[in-house]
Structure 1
Amino acid sequence: MLESQSTFPVTAEGPGPVTGTIGGFHGTLSYQTDADNNPQLAFTRDTPGVPEYIPAQSPFHPDTFGREDGINVFWMGQNNFYDPPGVKSDIAKCIAFLSSKRYIVMSLLNAGDEGIGTTSYDQLAQINADLARTYPDNFFDIRKILINNYDPASLQDVQDHINDVPPSSLRNDAEHLNDKGYAVVAQQVAAFIASRSW
């Protein structure tokens, strides 16, 4: 069992067990829960041997993701958009790690209260413009697609469209999409992948 995790690269939602190396040992990192249902990460090395001590917070180096037949979708930066260099650096590091050219960089979304004229809107628009310029063949503007999927019969959705924010009919709250919103995302990402014959 690993102690003092700095992050959980494997969660109950996925991506499932991940192979890689920690402390010079290759094995599989998996998500588990203890008797009290607390999340834990467990590392099982490939070959048996005497127990070894690995210091807490030791880095786990996953095997390269992105097999040639895999497709990677990066939709990150929403929670730290106030740090544009950090967002762009994180995405660049992920892409540099890939062995596949089949990847999508999704645009960041603005919240319902981050419409035209707000500082947040301007920051997010700049990040998205930078990502589109950096990854012209792989950038996917899901934000604009969601905004264009507003309900013209809904006064609130019409106002959201005017404000250039994802429509209320596709959100659970100011920031998070609802099932209908995620269905739009899933359908559009699938269409983007199909258009590339991936």
Structure 2
Amino acid sequence: MPAPQPAVLPAVPGTPLPAAPSSRPPGTEASRRLLGVEPEPRALTLWGSSSMSSEGGDESTPVPIRIHEHLALSAAPATVHSFGVGATRSAHTLLLRGLDTPRVRPVGDGVRAADGTVRVPVALDSALAPAGPLRIPGSVDGTAGVLDGSSGTWFFAADGAEHDSDGALAGDRIEGVFTSVLNEVADASRQVLWMGKNNILDVPGVLADTQRMWDAAETPDEDTLVLGQWCTEADADGSETGDAVAEVNAEQARRYGEHFLDLQQLLTGEEGLRCSPLAPLTLLDQGSTQAALERGVVPPLLVATDGIHLNGWGNLAVSWALVRRMQELRWL
């Protein structure tokens, strides 16, 4: 009789191995967009003079075309800050951006305006004269206010300035270094520069000022788009200003590569004049266009009646080119 066998214990179940992690993120693409935290979109800051503020953009098109409004729609939900100020020169852009910080001193008595603001006439040690409707929020050694050159004279209007215990206006004693607060807006922004046309004959100055703006960006090689100047009838081939425009454009194209947008080529070249926004105008079939191109200037159908700004059609072409280049740069 065979010996009794011990009872067989049930096998211990093996510990399951963890499954290899999926290479695919959980959920659907729509749910990930809904529940995921998207990075804050980069703001866009526009610097320059009247062309950047789209002066003339209310002419010729059925509705006004302003570049900053067009970009605000294209870049949404990113914020677009528009700091184009007419009649200003490249040095004013540096002041507006907070890269130049001149010392300010009062040169007369303060005057209280009807709204209660105390405006003190001041001088800048940089000797920069005011231009255009320039009003720059900032501070003088910690005293907040606005540096205002819109009347043709510099004034500093301190925020909440009141009479002190001696009866004098507190703003009268404003003196120190002025710094624009717009540097806080600009520091984290991408930027578009269209500056220097009003002092284009100072080729070295325009190039240097633009380079300072370029260098001030968070990551200069990625964060700036420089717009070239275009030729009006006053800048025809062979003119002093026309030569200066060509020299600045050529050097900036060399420096900035794909971060330079050649608007003279856009507005006088066949590809640009046939672009979709301008197709209804059949520009190249117009005698006025051909005559303008022979002089090396932008066709009159794209120019406002003042002869120095683009009209709505011109601004529409610039906006189209800007959006296309920003898409190529992965800004949009």
Residue 130 of structure 2 corresponds to: 7
Q: Quick one: distance in 1 between partners of 2:325 and 2:230?
A: 18
In structure 2, give the amino acid aligned to 1:84: V
Which of 222, 225, 229 is matched with 1:108 structurally?
229
For structure 1, which segment, 81-90 or 174-183, has the greater mean C-alpha deviation from structure 2 after superposition? 174-183
Which of 58, 61, 64 is matched with 2:179 structurally?
61
Q: CA deviation at 1:144?
A: 1.0
Residue 162 of structure 1 corresponds to: 294
Gaps of 5+ in 1: 34-38
Which of 44, 47, 57 is matched with 2:159 structurally?
44
Describe the superposition over 1:138-176 as per-residue Cα deviations: whole angstroms up to 9, x where unpaired: 211112111134401210111212322111100024322
Q: 1:171/1:10 Cα in 2 relative to 1: closer, same or farther (>3 Å)?
A: closer
- Count of matched residue positions in the alignment of Structure 1 and Structure 2: 184
Q: Quick one: distance in 2 between partners of 1:4 and 1:30?
A: 9
Q: What is the root-mean-square deviation of aligned Cα atoms in Å?
A: 3.4
Q: 1:10/1:121 Cα in 2 relative to 1: closer, same or farther (>3 Å)?
A: closer
In structure 1, give the amino acid aligned to 2:309: H
Residue 95 of structure 1 corresponds to: 214
Checking the alignment, whether the CA contact within 8 Å between 2:200 and 2:206 is kept in structure 1 is yes
Q: CA deviation at 1:54?
A: 1.1
Secondary structure of the 1:74 match is strand
Checking the alignment, whether the CA contact within 8 Å between 1:29 and 1:43 is kept in structure 2 is yes
Q: Quick one: distance in 1 between partners of 2:145 and 2:213?
A: 20
Q: Quick one: distance in 1 between partners of 2:330 and 2:323?
A: 11
Q: Quick one: distance in 2 between partners of 1:10 and 1:96?
A: 26
Checking the alignment, whether the CA contact within 8 Å between 1:67 and 1:100 is kept in structure 2 is no
Q: 1:86/1:123 Cα in 2 relative to 1: closer, same or farther (>3 Å)?
A: same
Checking the alignment, whether the CA contact within 8 Å between 2:122 and 2:155 is kept in structure 1 is no
In structure 2, give the amino acid aligned to 1:88: L
- Are residues 1:190 and 2:308 paired? no
Q: CA deviation at 1:8?
A: 6.8
Tell me the TM-score normalized by structure 1.
0.74
Describe the superposition over 1:45-76 as per-residue Cα deviations: whole angstroms up to 9, x where unpaired: 8xxxx746213xx54212435343x2211111
Gaps of 5+ in 2: 1-118, 124-128, 165-169, 274-282
Q: Quick one: distance in 1 between partners of 2:231 and 2:309?
A: 10
Checking the alignment, whether the CA contact within 8 Å between 2:143 and 2:158 is kept in structure 1 is no
Q: Quick one: distance in 2 between partners of 1:26 and 1:93?
A: 26
Q: Quick one: distance in 1 between partners of 2:131 and 2:190?
A: 22
In structure 2, give the amino acid aligned to 1:121: G
Residue 260 of structure 2 corresponds to: 139
Describe the superposition over 1:99-158 as per-residue Cα deviations: whole angstroms up to 9, x where unpaired: 353111111122124222333322211111111122224211112111134401210111
Consecutive aligned runs of 4 or more in structure 1 exceeding 4 Å deviation: 8-12
Checking the alignment, whether the CA contact within 8 Å between 2:289 and 2:300 is kept in structure 1 is yes
Q: Which has the larger radius of gyration?
A: 2
Q: 1:120/1:9 Cα in 2 relative to 1: closer, same or farther (>3 Å)?
A: closer
Checking the alignment, whether the CA contact within 8 Å between 2:190 and 2:217 is kept in structure 1 is no
User: Which protein has greater RCO, CA pairs closer than 8 Å, 6+ apart?
Assistant: 2
Residue 177 of structure 1 corresponds to: 310
Checking the alignment, whether the CA contact within 8 Å between 1:21 and 1:60 is kept in structure 2 is yes
Percentage identity across paired residues of the two chains: 21
Secondary structure of the 2:186 match is coil
